Chains A and B, each alone.
Chain A
Amino acid sequence: MTLLTIENLSMKIGAVEILHDVSMSVAPGEILGVIGESGSGKSMTAFSVMQLLPDAATCTGAITLASTDILAASESDLCTIRGNDVGMVFQEPMTALNPVKNIGDQVAETIRIHEPGVSKAEALARAREALDRCELPEDRFPLTRYPHEMSGGQRQRVVIAMAIARHPKLLIADEPTTALDVTTQAEILTLLKRLVTEDNMGLMMITHDLAVVSDMADHIVIMKDGEVVEEGPAATLYKDMQHPYTKALFEASSHQPDRNAPLKSPPLLQVKGLIRDYTLPREKLLKAPGKFRAVNDVSFEIRRGESLGLVGESGCGKSTLTRAILGLEAIQDGEIILDGAPLFTEGGVNPMARRKMQVVFQDPYGSFNPRWKVARLITEPFHLLDNPPTGLAFETAVDQALISVGLTPDDKHKYIHEFSGGQRQRIAIARALITRPDLIILDEAVSALDVSVRAQVLDLLAELSEKHGLTYLFISHDLSVVRTITDRVLVMKAGEIVEKGETESVFDTPQHPYTKALIAAAPRLPDDSPADIKETA
């Protein structure tokens, strides 16, 4: 007996075909993992089930939910089904809740919409139960809490409570943990599994991350370009995957770029006893404002040619540390020395030290001015130089930078919206390379990229490091990526470095309890996956 059946579903938005001949099914109590990269149509499949598609979308095929034909249902029937028979959890917990309503009202709304006869008090009582089930106890999370008073993981629990308040038969979770830290991710996944078992609910779990579903899904569907390319029971799919794309995806997830460990070389960057305080808003008009210590007595060094990882969860101070090293913010105590020269001198940031480093940020969309052409974008760091190249030298520098990141010189005349996410990140790297710096800070530089694109960018970084003798400070919340590309790693928690050491030894034998917790929480691919995938990929 299946709960949800999708048969030969095709969906068009205007004339563009988004989904082609997609079929899958979910049984009660079953977890279906739907895996794919951005643009694969995995979210659109979920929204087709909910029929929450853009106005111009048309579906053909069949979607049957417990004997109801979804595609034939009227809008008012669909409103009865949404929230009642199907619940949905979204990727962005920070924005998925209405900021001006308290959590009690928002969870109770699901109940009151579908049971108009229920009194407000009773709906709130049942909202309380739903929140309790999602492990938000009353003493710490009363119904009168507002979303802005909660963390991302807690908000995601509220979203889940809203989705399960009416005990739906099917729960659709669209990248429910992508925006969360690893330890929070592990907790949310455990919660979802428990709810599935308790309610005998079907779960359609959409993700880009193979590892996330590997130990929870019963059945897995792999999608690419709006089509299902491979499917099978989770237990066997990882072992005998057939489709080349699946193998490529699998290989990319655990991709290990070729790189040589650096020789013992002198330190390039030294950070000594760094302290960074933030001034809190004034409580009272005449009272001195309070302080928050974001980075507390941090010391480390990076040797020339080395790749150093910095891991930690959101709010641990890693971004603050990055901004301090880049000289973007004044520091309260400590020293930053780059290639023997102090970064902060009497007159402010020392330009001699500053020009030796560049940065690549996470967001390949937001870190470019959309009105500038690529040539102007990537040559912006020239302002750091005393004699920036002009004329032919300028053109050559641009061409070389673009070629070195795998783009063509013609790309310099284009605008940033003409490129894909991976290409944009290449342009960001070109921008960082153009002044020939010694140190490049990669602040979550590959976190927003699809796994296959991420693998390419990691290869590029390894290659550039060999070629130009670059040193990397690699900041990420993603442990698996840090493991593949760094020589040494620092683990940061609450503004302090709690553990440091060779990457392999830290990952294999973590000493600090926090490091242990982080590594235990990180999702992992099954170890018994085929060994020959590298050749076919």
Chain B
Amino acid sequence: MFRYILKRLQALVISLIIASLVIFAAVEVVPGDPASFMLGINAQEDTIMALREQLGLNVSLWERYFTWVTGMVQGDFGTSYTYRTPVSDMIAERMVISLPLALYALTLSTLIAFPAGIIAATRRGSVADVSVMGVTQLGVAIPNFWFAMLMVVVFAINLGWFSAGGFPGWDAGFFAAMKALTLPAIALALPQASILARVMRSSLLDTLSEDYIRTARAKGLTRRQALWRHALRNALIPVLTIIGLQFAFLLAGGIIIEKVFFLPGLGQLIFQAITQRDLIVVESVVMLLVFAVILVNFAVDLAYGIADPRLRRART
């Protein structure tokens, strides 16, 4: 197991290096000079040159790459071209909303999907199965912003249980903050839970028809015991993969939901930065997201290793 972890760590570092190179290169080839953008169209040539000097845009590409990477490693993401504030502060400000929101949505989606998928698989063809399949079909099909607006109308405007949007900050207390994140989390979780429940169902159905389930039954296990002791752990591998992918998406992909609920999250930040050619912010946020994705994949890999001893032999 130790060697397996070491291998995965090795892969993690290599992916990070490659990702940083790609992101840096991609942002460099995007047309548009941040200095001229900041100074407007009527700026003098020498003013632009001076600003470029000040922003550190005049040194060679490699130097800029190394400054950027070494800065990031030390937690210094540079200074935003547009707002003149440290990028790390801007990201931190948004992360306190986006990260809890993503975790909240992921927890909800797992809590809904697991029981739904298990019930559907164990009672294949029953009313429960057909309803789970129908509802999840709908959950995948409905655009989540529309569902979000529907929830705002019902729970915020008509019933008044939740506020229609905005975030009071964590200073307002844990419950107040979580309450503000509840509707967005549900809106984010619905399509994810639908996909996850379907994956859980089909994976479990495959596993339940395996020979070792029959062996377990021949040992005297009841259907339920065979499911919990033998089928579930084997069925979990594809489900874990989907969860890993979903978390990465939830962290930054919630921009539409952030818009609907007026949440100043990471998605909004990256959107603003792109429109304002604030390349240093774009680079940093994208790098951070890549880091999050790679980290989550690493965690999923470790979970694989725990779930399936065959993978521990570190063949990849």
Binding site for B on A (CB under 8 A): 50, 52, 75-76, 79-84, 87-88, 90, 92, 95-102, 109-110, 113-114, 146, 148, 159, 162-163, 281, 285
B233 interface residue, CB < 8 Å from A?
yes
Task: Say whether A98 contacts B230, CB under 8 Å.
Answer: yes
**A95 contacts B220, C-beta separation under 8 Å:** no
B222 at the interface (CB under 8 A from A): yes
The segment out of B177-185, B207-215, B284-292 that lies at the interface is B207-215
B217: interface (CB < 8 Å): yes
Question: Which residue of A has the minimal Cβ distance to B237?
Answer: A100
Q: How far is the CB of B60 from chain A (nearest CB, A)?
A: 29
Select B211's contact among A84, A92, A146, beta carbons within 8 Å.
A92
9 contacts between A and B (CB under 8 A): A79-B222, A82-B217, A83-B221, A88-B218, A95-B210, A96-B211, A99-B309, A100-B309, A146-B310
Distance of A109 Cα from B225 Cα, bound (Å): 11
Asked if B212 contacts A98 (CB within 8 A), the reply is yes
Beyond A99-B308, A100-B307, A146-B310, whether A113 also contacts B211 by CB under 8 A is: no
Determine the chain B residues whose CB is within 8 A of the CB of A92 once the complex forms: 211
Interface size class of B (residues with CB under 8 A): 20 to 34
B10 within 8 Å of A by Cβ? yes
A74–B229 Cα gap in the complex (Å)? 22
Contact A90 B215 (CB under 8 A): yes
Please tell me if B316 contacts chain A, counting CB pairs below 8 Å.
Answer: yes
Report Cα–Cα, A213/B35, bound state, in Å: 88
Contacts of A113 in B (CB 8 A): 219-221, 225
Chain A residues within 8 Å of B216, by CB: 98, 109
> A75, A80, A95 — which one has the most chain B CB atoms within 10 A of its CB?
A95
Taking A83-B219, A90-B214 as known contacts, 9 extra A-B pairs with beta carbons closer than 8 A to each other, sorted by chain A number, are A52-B217, A76-B222, A84-B220, A98-B234, A99-B308, A99-B310, A100-B233, A146-B309, A148-B310
What is the bound-complex CA distance between A102 and B215, given in angstroms? Answer: 15
* In the complex, chain B residues whose CB is within 8 Å of the CB of A76: 222
B10 touches A83 (CB 8 A): no
Cα–Cα, bound, A64→B229 (Å): 30
Q: A53 CB to closest chain B CB, in angstroms?
A: 11
CB atoms of B220 and A162 under 8 A apart: no
Across-interface contacts of B218 in A (CB, < 8 A): 50, 52, 82-83, 87-88, 90, 163
**Whole-angstrom distance between the alpha carbons of A50 and B210 in the complex?**
18
Contact B308 A281 (CB under 8 A): no
The residue that A97 contacts in the complex, of B212, B220, B229, B316, with Cβ under 8 A, is B212
- List residues of B (258-316) whose CB comes within 8 Å of A's CBs: 307-310, 315-316
C-alpha gap A114/B222 in the complex (Å) = 12
Q: Which residue of A lies closest to B229 (CB)?
A: A109
- Could you tell me the distance in whole angstroms from the C-beta of B122 to the nearest C-beta in chain A? 12
A285 to chain B, nearest CB (A): 7
Q: Are B316 and A281 neighbours in the complex by a CB distance under 8 Å?
A: yes
In angstroms, how far is the closest chain A Cβ from the Cβ of B224? 10
Bound-state CA distance A96–B230 (Å) is 12
Q: Is the CB–CB distance between B315 and A281 below 8 Å?
A: yes
CB contacts (< 8 Å) of A146 on chain B: these are: 309-310
Q: Which A residue sits closest to B222, measured CB to CB?
A: A79
Known: A82-B219, A97-B212, A100-B233. A148 touches B316 (CB 8 A): no
Min distance, Cβ B17 to any Cβ of chain A, angstroms = 13
B283 CB → nearest A CB, Å: 28
B316 CB contacts on chain A under 8 angstroms: 281
| A162-B215 CB under 8 A given contacts A82-B220, A95-B210 | yes
**Chain B positions within 8 Å of A84 at CB level:** 220
Secondary structure class of chain B's binding surface, majority of residues: helix
* Chain B residues at the A interface, C-beta cutoff of 8 Å: 10, 210-212, 214-222, 225, 229-230, 233-234, 307-310, 315-316
A162 touches B308 (CB 8 A): no
Report the minimal beta-carbon distance from A4 to chain B, rounded to whole angstroms.
15
- Minimum CB distance partner of A101 in chain B: B230
- Residue numbers in B under 8 Å from A90 (CB-CB): 211, 214-215, 218
- Which residues of chain A are near B221, meaning CB under 8 Å? 79, 83, 109, 113
Are B220 and A100 closer than 8 Å at their CB atoms?
no
The smallest C-beta distance from B247 to any residue of chain A, in angstroms, reads: 24
How distant is the Cα of A95 from the Cα of B212 in the complex, in angstroms?
Answer: 6
- Contacts of B309 on A, CB cut-off 8 Å? 99-100, 102, 146, 148
Q: How far, in whole Å, are A522 and B217 apart by their CA atoms in the complex?
A: 33
> Bound complex: CA of A162 vs CA of B215, how far in Å?
9
User: What residues of chain A lie closer than 8 Å to B220, measured between beta carbons?
Assistant: 79-84, 110, 113-114
- B231 nearest in chain A by CB position: A98
Contacts of A95 in B (CB 8 A): 210-212
Complex Cα–Cα for A81 and B316 (A):
44
Residue of A nearest to B11 (CB): A285
Q: Return A100 CB to nearest CB of chain B, in Å.
A: 5
Lowest 8 A-B CB distances belong to which pairs?
A83-B220, A83-B219, A95-B211, A88-B218, A82-B220, A98-B212, A110-B219, A146-B309
How far is it, in angstroms, between the C-alpha of A79 and the C-alpha of B229 when the chains are bound?
15
Task: State the CA gap A285–B309 with chains docked (Å).
Answer: 22
A49 to B202, CA, bound (A): 30
Residue in chain A with minimal CB distance to B316: A281
Please measure, in the bound complex, the distance between the C-alpha atom of A95 and the C-alpha atom of B316, giving whole angstroms: 23
Contacts of B217 in A (CB 8 A): 52, 82
- Chain A's closest residue to B10 (CB) is A285
Q: Is the CB of A100 within 8 A of B219?
A: no
Most buried by A among B212, B221, B222, B230: B212
Query: Using Cβ atoms and an 8 Å threshold, which residues of chain A touch B233?
Result: 100
**Bound-state Cα–Cα, A162 to B308, Å:** 21
Give the complex CA separation of A256 and B214 in angstroms: 39
Cβ-closest chain B residue relative to A97: B212
**Which of A75, A76, A100, A148 counts the most chain B CB atoms within 10 A?**
A100
Residue of B nearest to A76 (CB): B222
A211 CB → nearest B CB, Å: 26
A99 to B236, CA, bound (A): 13
List chain B residues, Cβ under 8 A from A102: 309
| Residues of B close to A83: CB separation below 8 A | 218-221
Complex CA–CA separation, A113 to B216 (angstroms): 10
Query: How many angstroms from the CA of A80 to the CA of B229 in the assembled complex?
Result: 17
CA distance in complex: A102, B211 (Å):
16
- B229 proximity list for chain A (CB < 8 A): 109
**A159 B215 Cβ-Cβ under 8 A:** yes
With CB as the reference atom, state the residue of chain A lying closest to B14. Answer: A285
Distance in angstroms between the alpha carbons of A460 and B218 in the assembled complex = 41
A100–B211 touching, CB < 8 Å: no
Which residues of B are found within 8 Å of A50, using beta-carbon distances? 218
Q: How far is the CA of A96 from the CA of B229 in the complex (A)?
A: 15
Name the distance in Å between A193's Cβ and chain B's nearest Cβ. Answer: 21
Q: Which residue of A lies closest to B207 (CB)?
A: A98
